[in-house]
Amino acid sequence: MTEIVSTTVAERRFFMTLLTAYGLLALGIATIGVFGVVAYQVAQRTNEFGVRLALGATPTGLARLVLIQSGRLALLGLVVGLALSFMTSRLLASQLFGLSAHEPILLLGVSMLLLFAALLASLLPAQRAARVEPITALRCE
């Protein structure tokens, strides 16, 4: 009986494995994209960070500033993504076994994973912003 059940769900299992692999690949690409955008933003604002440090801002405060701005963008993306998810949930409803398309724990877990990935991708540029030397940044002007 186990073999019969295994044979009948083999196609769906393959489909779900493929979707999982594509989802992980998309998460990796999105994380690299967030890193690139935040790193570019930090590079463009080097002079601003130098002025802030010269006027008394702390390196921790600058890192927090970059992370908060990245977090806001990630939250905006999550809101838009969740809205699109609710609109297209009927497409995936037939593929979900034992879950509804609007499972709150699942949506919360995936949202937290995406937010964590975005903040993790922003961590290195935030540290780079915190290590800006005020004198060097002001000389470039």
> Residues 78, 114: contact at Cβ < 8 Å?
yes
Enumerate residues 6+ apart whose C-beta is below 8 A from 99: 106
Name the residue type at position 27: L
Enumerate residues 6+ apart whose C-beta is below 8 A from 70: 34, 38, 118, 119, 121, 122, 126
pTM of this structure: 0.80
The tokens describing 37, both together, are 């955008």
Give the pLDDT score at 75.
94
Give the pLDDT score at 99.
64
Q: Where are the domains of the chain?
A: 17-139
Q: What is the mean pLDDT of each run of 10 residues along the chain (141 residues)?
A: 75 87 95 95 90 90 94 94 84 67 83 94 94 79 59
Give the pLDDT score at 117.
95
The tokens describing 68, both together, are 């908060």
> Residues 62, 132: contact at Cβ < 8 Å?
yes
d(CA 45, CA 99): 45
Give the pLDDT score at 95.
64
Q: Counting every residue, how long is the chain?
A: 141
Phi, psi of 101 (to 5 degrees): -70, -15
Give the pLDDT score at 140.
64
> Residues 47, 138: contact at Cβ < 8 Å?
yes
